[in-house]
Structure 1
Amino acid sequence: MTTSRTDSRSGTGTPRLGWALALLAFAQLIISLDFNIVFVALPEIGAELGFTDQSLQWVVSAYAVAFGGFLLLGGRAADLLGRRNMFLLALSLYALSSLVGGLAQNSETMIAVRAVQGLGGALLFPATLSLINTLFAEGPQRNRALAVWGGAGASGLTLGSLLGGLLTGWFGWASVFFVNVPLAGAVIVGALAAIPRDRRAQERRSFDLPGAVTATGGVTLLVYVLVQGPESGWTSTGIVVSAAVAVVLLALFTAIEARSRDPLMPLRLFRNRSLAAGMAITFIFMGTFSALPYFLTVLFQNVHGYSALQTGMAFLVPSLSIAAGTQIGERMATRTATRATLVTGLVIGSLGTVVLAFGVSADGGYGAVVPGLIVSGIGQGITWTGMWIAAASGVDGKEQGVASGMASTTQQIGGAIGLAILIAIANSGIDGREGDALRTAMADGTQTAVFVAAAGILLGALVALTLPRRAATRHAPPADQEGAAETAAGEKAGAPTQA
């Protein structure tokens, strides 16, 4: 078997692969932006579209529930129906739903739009990640590609708040939706030219409809419970019933997968230590690191009185820090091991988050939180790159889609659980407070939540210690896409590329 080679200066192979990587990274940026881009615009959306205080959360929650619920289905669809096909379909959903969202005139339309955007994300994320993992050979080549892709994704989590603030301040809330239309359209056009067509399957494989129905229903209800539970009350009838049905459906799903000849999610994949640890770390990552922008938004707007534009600008520092961290993570993973990379990133991230917490106060200025934002952001970037390298290691190419779906499902569930816990902690002392007393209580609650997040990040470092000291790396060529022969030929010719 011929081993795939890359140009040493770029590490991405042929110019065609360089363009493909740029498009995949840009698509990941779009996904990440949508997590947080609406946060800063929520007050204007609520006021103009007639949301109540109780229903406004569903502008965020509808996206999270649909995204988390359909990820496994999206991953398997990428494996069976084609990664490029699902990539294009998902981007089209994003563009169309974003256009409708910007034109929305009532709360019901907005919630429906956000659910469709979440579905688009559930199809797009595993398709994008599995394209990275199949177009680029495992080892240094894939690590570099994941660093570029990861830099876009991790930075997008905070860049969403930056862009949301700028757009809302300059053009109004609708612009946070309209911006996705030209972005997604440009990626679709580029993908038609740069991403290789899907190869026709060499074997007939079923879609495992019973597994798809039970997994999608169970995970969707589970995410719904985690998102709605703090608002409705954990003992309310709707939450208790939804939780019980979710448990039954997920139990049925496990039984179906254990007996299926062609399962939606092969249970044997859990024997892959790297994938299992990667899933656990993505769970912790989203419940800690990715909750920080929410609390920073509360601190900047509700405590310090920043405008939407000022709040957006405040996220520039963590965005740049995270981008730098992803590049450090790639170099560490290539030169040392994924385990050392993740332990280092998580320890740095935990220490930085502690420093950030000490800077949170009702009377402190922006300068007080900048050191923590920088150190925590670098740790977050290192971790983001390393955890996706871990989740892809040792997984067969034909199962990269479902492996990506598994990792990203735990990511979404972790985000819902972590945010629910941290919000409950932060809000525990604000009842009955007004004026300066309320500002002080919100700042104190935010500080406590950030300290708890730092402890959770450190727990992730302990999980990372379960990874092999140095995973066995298979430098196999990216052979499951049409055009692989063309890629290999270009690499033999030493064609330089710029990512």
Structure 2
Amino acid sequence: MDDAKDDAAAGRAAGPRAVLVPLALAQFICSFAGSNMNVMITDISTDLDTTVHGVQVVITVFLLVMAALMIPGGKMCDRYGRVRLFRAGLVVYGVGALLSAVAPGLGVLLLGNSILQGVGTAMLIPPVYILATLTFTTLATRARAFGVISAMGGVGAAAGPLIGGVITSAISWRAAFVFQALVIAVIVLLSRRIVDPLRADPDSRFDRFGAVLCAVGLTLLVAGVLALDQNVAASVGLMAAGALVLGGFLLSMRAQQRRGLRPLLPLALFRDRTSNLGLITQNIQWLMLLGSSFTVSAYLQVVRGYGAVQTGVTFTAATVGLLVSSLAAERLARRHTQRTLVLAGFVIAILGIVVLVLLVRATDDSWAFVPGLFLLGFGLGAMLTPSVNLVQSSFPEDQQSEISGLSRSVSNLGSSLGTAIAGTILASSLSNRSYAAAMFTLAGIGALGLVAAAFLPRGRSAPR
């Protein structure tokens, strides 16, 4: 116990900024990876002799692997230590990025980007939020930390198309993966100053069977969505099978708890009403962000004939909007309740989607995308931080590994579902009609998030 206190003191001595910078950069690059390929659809499909759907599968599987392994990743923090797992995840991610950069075909790209980078992300992201929660303990400092991390995550997702577009046009789509590997190298160097606030417990139990059930269930669920445009019966069957496997996963967790064992995902995490509602809003926020990013990017390149840079520049409006609201998270948290921020965020984001559809229908000018994308980015940025804070602050330190894994799994599941749903609608026929259908579907799902946010507690949520 004294050693753990000494480690924590050493971590504080290094300075909060020394901890926050590599954590925020890690969230940035992982979110960047989820969206930067959206502007490379044409280049990759031509170079690797594949289709838009093939590239969509690579993107979706990457997001799915993250979602499927986030819960085990969070649990592994207890066993191997948060900092050690964080660094190991960086290495796996970096290897995947380099393999993707030299991929001769879609199969190798799937292995490097979707599998290795997905696994690496699932290893390094749960420690990001656990370390931030343990390092910043007051509502104000935690809001600031989550604000920076969420902002960098949102900016990574929103600016991914712009940065990826510039790199793709100036050099090659392969160079975008080299860029990721270089950022990973910088994070590895910066992470050398981070000290784990808690000592690892090598003897802690890890439920391998539960991890497999969780991963298989989520995979079947998203695979069902992807198959919807090709075979409805198979799609329904896959989603039903996924639901059954996830049901078996929850029953397994319950049985282990009754035997006095600590399961992969304690069901007590679902007894907190505020956290449950926060998880729902997180899922839908990322579903809207990644779903709209894929929809607009594919539409611009395939229907409008935009190049990678022009597509990326168009997305600058969303990046600016997200940055403005995310970086104001601390000030907004002092003036408004978390519920108010999440509600306002959904209203503004939904309005942004509606504006996107109406203006794009009215004119062929590229400026028509700017107001809607700005509103969408601003709304999502306003609610990313309070949603994370609501969930993480609902549990004490000894449950941070589980809730962090669950939180990130739910968010990344939203990302993969957003890309899968939007891509499935677009795949029917890339046109103005399918673009509008995909965007209005995302707005409708956003309305469900707005309803969930309305039931959040009206008071401020303080860390426990």
Which of 458, 464, 470 matches 2:453?
A: 464
Does the alignment pair 1:235 with 2:233? yes
Match of 1:110 in 2: 109
Match of 2:121 in 1: 121
Kindly indicate which of the two structures has a greater share of residues assigned to helix.
2
Offset at residue 160 of structure 1 (A): 0.7
Alignment of 1:55-134 (within 5 A): 55-114=54-113, 115-134=115-134
Give, in whole Å, the separation in 2 of the partners of 1:234 and 1:408.
Answer: 30
Match of 2:391 in 1: 391
Give, in whole Å, the separation in 2 of the partners of 1:362 and 1:341.
Answer: 31
Does the alignment pair 1:370 with 2:359? no
Q: For residues 131 and 356 of structure 1, do their structure 2 counterparts lie closer, same or farther at Cα, with a shift above 3 Å needed?
A: same
Match of 1:257 in 2: 253
Q: For residues 138 and 273 of structure 1, do their structure 2 counterparts lie closer, same or farther at Cα, with a shift above 3 Å needed?
A: farther
2:93·2:117 contact (CA, 8 Å) conserved in 1? yes
> Aligned AA for 1:256?
S
1:139·1:334 contact (CA, 8 Å) conserved in 2? no
2:96·2:116 contact (CA, 8 Å) conserved in 1? yes
Match of 2:462 in 1: 473
Offset at residue 102 of structure 1 (A): 0.7
Give, in whole Å, the separation in 1 of the partners of 2:348 and 2:64.
Answer: 31
Give, in whole Å, the separation in 2 of the partners of 1:138 and 1:213.
Answer: 36
Match of 2:334 in 1: 334
Alignment of 1:484-499 (within 5 A): none
> Aligned AA for 2:63?
A
Give, in whole Å, the separation in 2 of the partners of 1:155 and 1:420.
Answer: 21
Q: Give 3-state SS (helix, strand or coil) of 2:361's partner.
A: coil
Q: Deviations over 1:427-448 (max 9, x none)?
A: 55x3xxxxxxx7xxx1233233
For structure 1, the residue ranges without an aligned partner over 5 or more in a row are: 1-11, 431-437, 477-499
Q: Deviations over 1:184-237 (max 9, x none)?
A: 0110111012x11353247953112332222222223323333x313542323x
Give, in whole Å, the separation in 2 of the partners of 1:93 and 1:280.
Answer: 30
Offset at residue 14 of structure 1 (A): 6.5
Give, in whole Å, the separation in 1 of the partners of 2:155 and 2:285.
Answer: 14
Q: Give 3-state SS (helix, strand or coil) of 1:207's partner.
A: coil
Match of 1:494 in 2: none
Give, in whole Å, the separation in 1 of the partners of 2:418 and 2:53.
Answer: 20
Q: Give 3-state SS (helix, strand or coil) of 1:104's partner.
A: coil
Q: Deviations over 1:36-69 (max 9, x none)?
A: 1112123222222233565343321331232121
Q: Deviations over 1:283-340 (max 9, x none)?
A: 2112223311112213322232221111122222211110111123332223332111
2:42·2:52 contact (CA, 8 Å) conserved in 1? no
Q: For residues 241 and 371 of structure 1, do their structure 2 counterparts lie closer, same or farther at Cα, with a shift above 3 Å needed?
A: closer
2:62·2:117 contact (CA, 8 Å) conserved in 1? yes
> Aligned AA for 1:38?
M
Which of 240, 243, 247 matches 1:247?
A: 243
Q: For residues 53 and 332 of structure 1, do their structure 2 counterparts lie closer, same or farther at Cα, with a shift above 3 Å needed?
A: closer
Q: For residues 84 and 256 of structure 1, do their structure 2 counterparts lie closer, same or farther at Cα, with a shift above 3 Å needed?
A: same
2:147·2:330 contact (CA, 8 Å) conserved in 1? yes
CA RMSD, 1 decimal:
2.3
Match of 1:141 in 2: 141
Offset at residue 377 of structure 1 (A): 1.4
> Aligned AA for 1:469?
R
Match of 2:349 in 1: 349
Q: Deviations over 1:444-496 (max 9, x none)?
A: 3323332332333233122112211114524x6xxxxxxxxxxxxxxxxxxxx
Q: For residues 377 and 61 of structure 1, do their structure 2 counterparts lie closer, same or farther at Cα, with a shift above 3 Å needed?
A: closer
Match of 1:211 in 2: 210
Does the alignment pair 1:162 with 2:162? yes
1:62·1:112 contact (CA, 8 Å) conserved in 2? no
Q: For residues 399 and 308 of structure 1, do their structure 2 counterparts lie closer, same or farther at Cα, with a shift above 3 Å needed?
A: same
Give, in whole Å, the separation in 1 of the partners of 2:457 and 2:237.
Answer: 41
Give, in whole Å, the separation in 2 of the partners of 1:263 and 1:18.
Answer: 34
Offset at residue 117 of structure 1 (A): 0.8
2:317·2:371 contact (CA, 8 Å) conserved in 1? no
Q: For residues 49 and 367 of structure 1, do their structure 2 counterparts lie closer, same or farther at Cα, with a shift above 3 Å needed?
A: closer
Q: Give 3-state SS (helix, strand or coil) of 1:205's partner.
A: coil
Q: For residues 125 and 371 of structure 1, do their structure 2 counterparts lie closer, same or farther at Cα, with a shift above 3 Å needed?
A: same
1:304·1:362 contact (CA, 8 Å) conserved in 2? no
The alignment-based identity, stated in percent, is 28
